[in-house]
Structure formats: C-alpha cells, structure tokens
Structure 1
Amino acid sequence: MSLHPPSFIQLGSEFFERTEPTPVRQPELLLFNEAWAKANLAPESLPSSALELAKVFCGNQTLPGSEPIACAYAGHQFGHYNPRLGDGRAHLLGELKGLDGSDWEVQLKGSGITDFSRGGDGRCALAPALREYLMSEAMYALGVPTGRCLAVVSTGETVYRQGAEPGAIVTRLMASHLRVGSFQYAANQLGPEATKRLLDYAIARHYPHIDPNDAQAPLLFLQAVAEKQRQLIKAWMRVGFIHGVMNTDNCAISGDTIDYGPCAMLGTFDLNQVYSSIDQQGRYAFGRQPHIAQWNLARLTETLLPLMPGEKQEVLAKLQDFVDGLGESFERDFGEVLAQKLGLSDADKHQELIATLVERMQQQGLDYTQTFDRLTESQQDSSLLAPLQAVLGDWLPLWHEALASEPNGAYQLMRAANPRVIPRNHWVEAVLEAAVEHGDLAPFKRFLKVLQQPYQQLDETSDFQSAKPEYDLSYQTFCGT
C-alpha cells in the first residue's frame, strides 16, 4: 500500500508543518473498513495481516509516498476568533486514489503532538475514536455527505480525559481537510496572494467546473460551497443529526461532515435541543444549524473580499446580497425537508400543514424519527393510524387530504427520507461502554451492521429502534478526543 504526498504541500510551507506521528507502544487493530477498502483499493495493495495494518494505521510504520504534515488553520469557536488552531493531534499522511479515480486524504487522529498541539498530548481516547467510526459510517448509510473512517487502532497506552482512558488512533478519509478556517488563516495571517493560491487549489480540488482565472471565480466558488453546505444541512436536519460544534474550523469546503466529537441524534423533537456540554448558550442547537451554516459562510465570504474585482462598496453590496440570500435559502430548506418526509412535493403549498405538525410534535414531545417512520408505515399498515390519531388529532386527516392530491405515491418518497433506525444516543453509549469498559466489540459490530442499512427492517433492527426520552433529558456529549 502506497500513498501520494499530500497535494496540500504545493501551497507552500506557510500552510503546514512537517511532523512525524509519535510511535505507540502496543498497537492492535480493532476495526478496519473492509467495505470501503474493497470499493476503493486493489486487494493486493493492502498489508496482509492485522498486525501490519495496525502498524500502518497507528503511524509506527511509514507507508511509501507518505509525507506527514499538520495543517494550519484558524477558526471561530463558539463565535470567538482564534487566529491559530491547526491539527493539534492529527497527521495528514498523504493521499490515496480510489479505483474510481477519486482522491482521498488519509489522516491519523490521535497520532501525537504537533506544532499546533497548544499544550495538549496529541492523543485520542478509545471511546471518541470508536464514536467517530460508528457515526461516520451511520451517516454515510443515511445518505449524509461525510468523511469516512478506515481503521481504529488501540495504542496500549493511557490517556487522561475525564479520567484514565485507553488510547486509540482513528484513520480518517476525506476528499480534503480544507475548512472555512483554512481560508481565515490564509486571509488573516498570510495575505491576499496566499488566499488566492488557496482558492485556486480548492477550486481545482473540489469545483473544477470553475475557471480560476475568471474574475468572478471567488463569487462562483462561494456559491458552489454554499450549495454544498445547503445540501449538507438539509441532510442533517432530515435525519435529526446535531453536530454540536459547528465552528468555522469544522466547516469543510467539500461539504462533508467533519469532526464527530460532541455530536448526538435528536430523540424527542425540540428545535432548541442541545447535547454538547460546552454549548452552554445553545448556539449550535438542532434548529439553529441552518443559521450557523449561513454565519460560517459569511465568514468565508469575508476572506475572499480582497480577491473580488470592482469598487469596494459595490462588491460589499453584492456579497451582502449573497449572504442575505443564503439566509432565505436555508430557511426554506427545512420546510422542504419536512415536506419530503411527509411525502409532499410542494413545501410552499403545504406550509401551514407542516408548521402545525412541527408545533404538535414540539408540544407533545414526540420522537422525531419514530413519528415519521410510523407516518410512513401507516401508508401500508392501517393499524398505525389510531395511535397516530391519538397524538396528532385533526392534523392527520388534513395530511391524508394533502397526500390524495399528490400525483405519485407517497410511500417511496417517505421511505427514502425517513430512516427506520438511527444511532440513538443511549445505544451509542451502550456499545461504546461494552467496548471500552469490557473489551467487547461484538455489540458495537452488531449495531454497526444494523446502521449500515438504516432504511431496511432487518431481523435485528428492532433491537435498536427503542427511544429513551428520559435518558436524553440528562444526556451530554463531550469533545473528549
């Protein structure tokens, strides 16, 4: 197995630091994403044994072509700007080219101290490593744009977080690790020329339909990134995902989900739901995610202002219109998501119906996933109508009336939008506890198997469908890595 050096290094040394992973004492391969490897890599390119895989994916053994770096970036964290963040516990090893020609960056997380560690130990605990693997694979199966995980390796070492915990390293796969924070770093620390280099690189990497020499390239790039973010947030809202830490350094230019540290899934429907222990003000609550995505894109827009041609006031006015338009788009998007989940093709036509459902779900404390799953299945199982009627009242016949005017059957549209099973918080914690406290990965793997087919009712799906609202009332997540 060999890599290409990170293409990111062509931007110049001011964008990264060369750094080697710190060897670990006793690496053991816990998880390897065979499905991803089979789809993207030639079988003969992989190390032949679990021990060799463990050595490679903990950083003890260097792959041919690897040139490990830690990338520099800045970021707004809960609204406060930090001019120098960067990869404090991660090493970008290089790039793989998939069998379909796609490029993947390979990054180790938890692989040791870098120049950006800011006093941290550069390591990762086992539970967050397993969580990232589980959640990213679940999100991929749900149809949400996301980075992937290739492997989790235990290190045989102890890290100290809430207490002493076993250490691990997770191998991340991303189209790139470019973030809004990458552009903030370039614009504020390096200047317009470096920002233009970064823009050209990002265009070539992710949006090659844009001509970088076009005077309007910065605006076209912003529009392309914004559309990717819109689709991402729509997907999050559709499945009830709460990221928990939507800082600009966690907003990927590719439009993929990155950083699963304090994430959680919505149980009882509440637009104000927050699980992250550090989000004391509810900045990143479930219902605020579209607004925060707009805010992050506004910060990206600011970094490209010096590259925009024309008189400054005219450029500012054009960009303000762009940002304002994003707000309107994100506002409409959630209505479209709910319309799809209800089997309705025209969100505008059914605004009142959708708004009434949102109000009833919030008032009644209904489970988000279960409600839409039961509405979906009620199309084929009339026994579900009575319990739905009991909680939704006169809304239910109004919905049926709306469905009757749809030209195509609603069931398939709804089934594609509404998962049967999600990585519910109490089940995630249960399988992590079994793995970390008892060394038993069997429940984790069983749960993962179900999550990889979230729109199907498998024999074991029902084992993981139960809601636990009383658990979620006091549930908190932590960055924890």
Structure 2
Amino acid sequence: MTELTPYRPAPRFFQLGGEYADQVEPARFGNLVLRHRHDRAATEIGLEHLSDEAFVRHFGRFEPLEGQPAPVAMRYHGHQFRHYNPDLGDGRGFLLAQMLDGRGRLMDLGTKGSGTTPWSRSGDGRLTLKGGVREVLAAAMLETLGVKTSRALSLIETDEELERHDEPSPTRAAVLVRLSHSHIRFGTFQRAAYFRRTDQIEALTAHVVRHYHPHLAEDDPVGLLGAVVEASARLSAQWVAAGFVHGVLNTDNLNVTGESFDYGPWRFLPHYEPGFTAAYFDQTGLYAFARQPEAVFWALTQLGGALRLVADAEPLTEALNRFGGLYIEALRVAIARRFGVRASGGPQDQALVDSALRLLREGGPALRFEPLFFDWFAGVSSTRRALSSPRAPLYAGEAFEALRTALFALEPERPERLEHAVFNRPEPEEMLIDEVEALWDAIAARDDWSAFHAKLAALEDARKAYGFAVPD
C-alpha cells in the first residue's frame, strides 16, 4: 500500500513580514459550485482527503486550512511589455497557504478571482469562468507534455455576473486556486530595488535560496541569479518543444523557480509558425512563439539589474551570459524527450532539433505541430505506426529523411511506453483554440461540463502514456 503524503503546513513567505505583502480579506460569494478539483495534485500536498464540500469551504469561502495564517496579497513591480510599472502587486488574487509536498518542496496555494486587494487599482478582483476554464486546460496540457507548470487545484464557479470589454457580457465568474512551487517573481526583487531597499533584496535572496535553491549559500545573489537563469532556460526550451505560446512574459509573470504559471491569452501552435502570437494586444509580436527565449532573457537581465544593488556587475553579467548556451542544450534535451528518445550529448541531438524544425517548417499547415511528435514517439520503434498514420503522405522527401536519420541515430527511451492504448489512436491529444472554444461553448450555452471533464481525463491518460518525469 502506497504511503500517503501528510499535510504539512509551512507558511514561510508569510514570515518575511508586512513589507513584502498585505493581509487581505477575501471576497464573500453567495452560491458556489465546484467545477474542477485536481485530485492527484491534492494528494501531493496531503489534501486528498478533503470532500467536495471542504474544497468549497477552503478554496471558495477561504476558511483557513490548519496551520495557515490569513491570506496576503504579494507586493511586486514589473516590466509590462518592457514598460516599467510600479503600481503592480496581487490585484485579484493572494497567497492562500504554503505547505511541503511529498518531496519536501515548499509549495504555494495561490488564488485568482478572489476579490480586490490594495493592488487592484480599478479592477474588480474577479475572474471570468471562461478564464478559469482556460487556465485549467492550459496547465493540464502542459503537465501532460512534461513542462514545469503550476496546476489548477480547484475551479469554483461563483454566482456573480461580470462585465468585460473583450468578451460577451455579462459573463459567469469563478475563483481558481493554483498549486505552484513559488509565486516569488522577478518583479518581487524589482520592487525592492526600486525603493533602494538592499535589506529587502538580501532577505529575499536568503529566503529564495533557503527554500528553492538550497545548494547555494544564502548570501550569494550571483549564485541565485545563475540558478534562476538555468531554470528559466529549461522552461523556455520546454515551451518551444511543446509548441506553447505563453502570451504575456512580463517580469511579474516569471518566477524564481523557472515554473510556468498565470495563463491568460495562451495558445498552442496549430503548426510551426515562429511569429505566432497569443495575445491580440501583442501587436509587435514581442512575445511571439520563437521570441520567447529572447523575452525570458530580457526579463532575466532586469532581475540581474535588481541584484546589482547587492552584487558586482561582472559576475552577474557572466551568470546572465550563460543563458544562450543553457537554452540550446535544454532545447536539445527537450526535443529528444518529446520524441521519446535519449539525448546523446553529442551532435546527433542538434541534428534532431534542426531536422524536426525544418520538417515542421516545410510541412506548413498540413503538418500540425503536436502530431509529429506523437507519430514518431520512441523513434525507430514507431516506424510502422507513423507510416500508417493519417500523416503518412507527409513523411517523405529530403526534409523527412533528415529527421528519420537523426531520430534513428538516438536510442529510444523506454519504448515499452508504446504499449499504452493511447498510441493505438490515430491522433494525439491537442489543445488548439477551436477545441478550447468548443469546450467553452458547451458550458456557456448548455451548462454542459461533460466534454470539459472528458478532455481532462483524456489528458491524464496521455500524461500516463508519455510518462514524462516531473521536472524539478
């Protein structure tokens, strides 16, 4: 019998004090309906025993979990589309609780749509139900593909109606609770630097090292930047390998653990398109698919600038300059992982990256992004399966032969994964915008949640089939 993870409250960020966050009063909602709960995530933090009724109490009415203080809205600044904004902070969410998971990692429960805070400005502090549904789906798809991501622990519909300028209104409302490794952002450090508070930067550095990068010394801001650079390079590579476009890579949307979170105008690529953007308001393509590594690096330089108050410029610059090489190596590993083969550490890995991107580019709209990795999962072991797939006619020609040569030069990793029933299907699980809209239309028009829950079940099935290890 598997031993269950005990619930172990560990409200560490709260102990930093009132200069880093503001205690807040959650919104009071009327009727609440639990629409989603992530039972596997709950098991990891010892909360699997909670009934649906208890989920509503703790994550909709915000009755405190045992050993947890009152919630706080975190303070931070940030660059938004490269314009500095000193008026940020948790405006429609807060840090609800912290606890240790089964691996001893400090984990956060953070909310979205839980009411106004001192940082709401003119916002209503609420979340549309559609926005909540979209965040659940984005996180589930990324988790399936092995991307280091926050997860939606719960989605609870409220009885409010919201007015929004960018979607039909009035629209239904919800409150979401996400499980993350950390909500400490690059912008958390930027705020301290803005006020020239070297004491706060030093305290944040010690806190982040102690709880997220414990192999470092707590008074080592250069080492901390290096660790964040490395984690962020891996995340950037994972996004690219997953065909994911985050949409808004502001410095308040990137954190110190290199974990993807806060899904607004996200998209998955229908086919390879370097300039594909997710946000309608990203008119210059600043955060387009292929520019995401560049955007993350730019954000890292802002974190380095904040740390400049407590460290010398030269070693900080050296830490930042490692990003390019780390990203390239991480992309080689991530692409090999998506194909279910073992990266060799040699030139074969780059050949696989180059040939895969070439085939996707030349294949155009006819070759969707996700099916290529699905068809050729485990490389040579999938030859017969791939060449009998609906895309078999596309697997011919010079570009394909280059990919096949690169794939077959690498050893399949755990090819027994192909025995899972998922790989007997002609199509992979995808998360393209038309399907997302169809799932929402069923909810909006008929209050029919069956397709939404069926999609999550299918993604869980695919997650088990792919068997990607959970990233640290």
- CA positional deviation for 1:42: 5.5
The counterpart of 1:145, out of the listed 144, 148, 151, is 148
Q: For residues 13 and 107 of structure 1, what CA distance do their matches in structure 2 show?
A: 18
The counterpart of 1:54, out of the listed 53, 56, 59, is 56
1:75 and 1:247 in contact (8 A); partners too = yes
- CA positional deviation for 1:238: 1.4
Q: For residues 101 and 321 of structure 1, what CA distance do their matches in structure 2 show?
A: 31
Q: Does the alignment pair 1:263 with 2:266?
A: yes
Range 351-360 or range 238-247, more displaced: 351-360
Q: What are the within-5 Å matches in structure 2 for residues 438-457 of structure 1?
A: 438-454=446-462
The counterpart of 1:30, out of the listed 22, 32, 35, is 35
Q: For residues 413 and 156 of structure 2, what CA distance do their matches in structure 1 show?
A: 44
Aligned-residue Cα RMSD (Å) equals 3.0
- List per-residue Cα deviations over 1:396-453 (Å, max 9, x = no partner): 33444445544x347849979x993232222122112212332111100000001113
Q: Does the alignment pair 1:367 with 2:368?
A: yes
- List per-residue Cα deviations over 1:306-329 (Å, max 9, x = no partner): 211xxxxxx323333332331243
Q: For residues 434 and 424 of structure 1, what CA distance do their matches in structure 2 show?
A: 16
Q: TM-score normalised to the size of structure 1?
A: 0.84
Q: How many residues align?
A: 444
1:335 and 1:354 in contact (8 A); partners too = yes
2:10 and 2:99 in contact (8 A); partners too = no
- CA positional deviation for 1:456: 6.5
Q: What are the within-5 Å matches in structure 2 for residues 455-466 of structure 1?
A: none
Question: What amino acid is the match of 1:286?
Answer: F
Q: What residue is the counterpart of 1:395 in the other structure?
A: 399
The counterpart of 1:12, out of the listed 17, 20, 29, is 17
Q: For residues 75 and 413 of structure 2, what CA distance do their matches in structure 1 show?
A: 48
1:339 and 1:345 in contact (8 A); partners too = no
Q: For residues 108 and 405 of structure 1, what CA distance do their matches in structure 2 show?
A: 46
Q: Please, which runs of 5 or more residues in structure 2 have no aligned partner?
A: 1-5, 467-472
The counterpart of 2:315, out of the listed 300, 318, 333, is 318
- CA positional deviation for 1:304: 0.8
Q: For residues 230 and 16 of structure 1, what CA distance do their matches in structure 2 show?
A: 28
1:97 and 1:104 in contact (8 A); partners too = yes
Q: For residues 385 and 399 of structure 1, what CA distance do their matches in structure 2 show?
A: 17
Q: For residues 425 and 29 of structure 1, what CA distance do their matches in structure 2 show?
A: 24
- List per-residue Cα deviations over 1:43-92 (Å, max 9, x = no partner): 55x3x4x3443232123534443311100001111111112300000122
1:3 and 1:63 in contact (8 A); partners too = no
Question: What amino acid is the match of 2:124?
Answer: D
- CA positional deviation for 1:186: 1.2
Q: What SS does structure 1 have at the residue aligned with 2:384? A: coil
Question: What amino acid is the match of 1:327?
Answer: G
The counterpart of 2:430, out of the listed 416, 422, 444, is 422
- List per-residue Cα deviations over 1:105-152 (Å, max 9, x = no partner): 222211111000011001111011122122212322321111122211
1:146 and 1:258 in contact (8 A); partners too = yes
Range 437-446 or range 342-351, more displaced: 342-351
Q: Does the alignment pair 1:236 with 2:233?
A: no
Question: Structure 1 vs Structure 2: percent identity of aligned residues?
Answer: 29
- List per-residue Cα deviations over 1:132-178 (Å, max 9, x = no partner): 12221232232111112221111111111122111110011122210
1:260–1:145 Cα change, 3 Å? same
- CA positional deviation for 1:32: 1.7
- CA positional deviation for 1:222: 1.0
The counterpart of 2:288, out of the listed 269, 285, 289, is 285
Q: For residues 372 and 149 of structure 1, what CA distance do their matches in structure 2 show?
A: 26
Question: What amino acid is the match of 1:58?
Answer: G
Q: What residue is the counterpart of 1:246 in the other structure?
A: 249
Q: What residue is the counterpart of 1:355 in the other structure?
A: 354
Q: What residue is the counterpart of 2:469 in the other structure?
A: none
Question: What amino acid is the match of 1:184?
Answer: Q
Q: For residues 13 and 212 of structure 1, what CA distance do their matches in structure 2 show?
A: 21
Q: Does the alignment pair 1:176 with 2:182?
A: yes
1:389 and 1:396 in contact (8 A); partners too = no
Question: What amino acid is the match of 2:454?
Answer: R
Question: What amino acid is the match of 2:360?
Answer: M
Q: What residue is the counterpart of 1:96 in the other structure?
A: 99
- CA positional deviation for 1:38: 3.0
2:7 and 2:100 in contact (8 A); partners too = no
Q: For residues 235 and 241 of structure 1, what CA distance do their matches in structure 2 show?
A: 8
The counterpart of 2:326, out of the listed 324, 329, 347, is 329
Question: What amino acid is the match of 2:27?
Answer: T
